[in-house]
DNA sequence: CTCCAGGAAATAA
DNA sequence: TTATTTCATGGA
């Protein structure tokens, strides 16, 4: 089926570093694996994307996953009409980005893995743990073989040696212990939705390998708290060199996480 | 060879 | 409290 949307650019979303299981498979073709499902997408033009799923599956799952009911166009227009020169350029460059509504556990684990790794290296590790600990499936539409993201139980039971073989390095125990905490109910991921932003960060940061940055990523990409503003080395550089440490996130209250995504995507394009 | 990658935890000051 | 050091691994 075909989706019409003025802010749905697959290239930008796939290479924005928020999701590690969306890949380019052709000139205008992409694939994504989420919540056990496989989808292929084709960017027909600036305003149209063709999806391999049925209308029913789109309504039931993918529409929300891609946050298609949210008006990203008005945010881009706001930034373009604003005074902030850096954000003007960032929005003009990254228009079409969206904040995907990923699985909470997957967002948590993949961003624990992400620390001190390049995005290609993260994607490699994530694919490895999916192949080793996930479930093998076949997409009925294309016949593509794919692997689901591992369950908490699988990762909690994973052998340290195999996690090392997957390339996790010293993060092996972080992943295993966090998965175990989820299995034992020491953190109830589904209940986090009811908590405030600050409470959510507090809960995430009790977990091994989760500091302020990973907690914000899990909140933004796993719980869709678009007020979350993850500060990594790139954003840190912007705040210091572009804004001389005078950037106020409260200026963008209600959608700071989206602003952060434009910033991140734009600064990386410059080098 | 060195340096860095969507950082966090342990340790020192 | 804040500042420094260490932690695997792969690629430039």
- Burial (CB < 10 A; 0-12, 13-18, 19+), residue A184, is exposed
For residue A76, which of A9, A125, A25 has the smallest C-alpha distance? A9
- The pLDDT tens digits along chain A (271 residues) read 999 999 999 999 999 999 999 999 999 999 999 999 999 999 999 999 999 999 999 999 999 999 999 999 999 999 999 999 999 999 999 999 999 999 999 999 999 999 999 999 999 999 999 999 999 999 999 999 999 999 999 999 999 999 999 999 999 999 999 999 999 999 999 999 999 999 999 999 999 999 999 999 999 999 999 999 999 999 999 999 999 999 999 999 999 999 999 999 999 999 8
A109 and A214 assigned to the same domain:
yes
Residue A271, pLDDT score: 87
Q: Specify the CATH number for the domain of residue A59.
A: 3.30.310.260
- Burial (CB < 10 A; 0-12, 13-18, 19+), residue A158, is buried
CA A24 to chain centre: 16
In a domain, A109, yes or no: yes
Containing structural domain, residue A13: 2-93
The nt closest to A170 (CA vs C1′) is: C8
Residue A115, pLDDT score: 98
**Cβ of residue A119 near strand B, that is under 7 Å?**
yes
In a domain, A256, yes or no: no
A34 and A111 assigned to the same domain:
no
Closest residue by C-alpha to C1' distance, nucleotide B7: A115
8 Å CB contact between A106 and A23? no
Backbone phi and psi for residue A28, each to the nearest 5 degrees, phi listed first: -120, 10
Q: Which nucleotides of chain B are near protein (any atom < 7 Å from a CB)?
A: 4-9
Q: Specify the CATH number for the domain of residue A151.
A: 1.10.340.30
* Inter-helix orientation angle A256-269/A233-241, to 10°: 90
A140 and A181 assigned to the same domain:
yes
* Inter-helix orientation angle A104-113/A119-133, to 10°: 120
**Cβ of residue A24 near strand C, that is under 7 Å?**
no
In a domain, A156, yes or no: yes
How many Å does it take to go from CA A209 to C1' B9?
Answer: 8
């Amino acid at each position: 089926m075909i989706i019409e949307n003025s802010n749905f650019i697959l290239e930008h979303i796939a290479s924005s570093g928020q999701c590690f299981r969306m890949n380019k498979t052709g000139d205008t073709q992409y694939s994504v694996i989420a919540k056990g499902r496989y989808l292929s997408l084709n960017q027909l033009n600036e305003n149209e994307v063709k999806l391999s799923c049925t209308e029913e599956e789109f309504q039931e799952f993918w529409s929300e996953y891609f946050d298609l009911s949210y008006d990203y166009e008005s945010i881009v227009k706001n930034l373009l009409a604003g005074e902030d020169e850096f954000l003007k350029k960032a929005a003009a460059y990254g228009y079409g980005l969206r904040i995907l509504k990923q699985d909470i556990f997957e967002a948590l684990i993949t961003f624990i893995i992400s620390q001190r790794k390049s995005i290609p290296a993260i994607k490699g590790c994530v694919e490895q743990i999916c192949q080793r600990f996930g479930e093998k499936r076949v997409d009925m539409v294309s016949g593509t073989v794919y692997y689901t993201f591992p369950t908490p139980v699988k990762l909690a039971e994973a052998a340290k040696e195999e996690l090392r073989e997957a390339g996790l390095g010293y993060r092996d125990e972080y992943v295993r212990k966090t998965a175990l905490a989820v299995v034992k109910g020491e953190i109830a991921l589904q209940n986090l939705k009811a908590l405030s932003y600050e409470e959510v960060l507090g809960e995430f940061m009790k977990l091994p390998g989760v500091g302020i940055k990973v907690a914000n990523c899990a909140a933004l990409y796993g719980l869709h708290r678009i007020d979350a503003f993850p500060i990594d080395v790139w954003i840190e550089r912007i705040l210091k060199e572009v804004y001389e440490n005078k950037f106020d996130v409260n200026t963008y209250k209600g959608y700071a996480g989206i602003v952060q995504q434009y910033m991140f995507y734009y600064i990386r394009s410059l080098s």
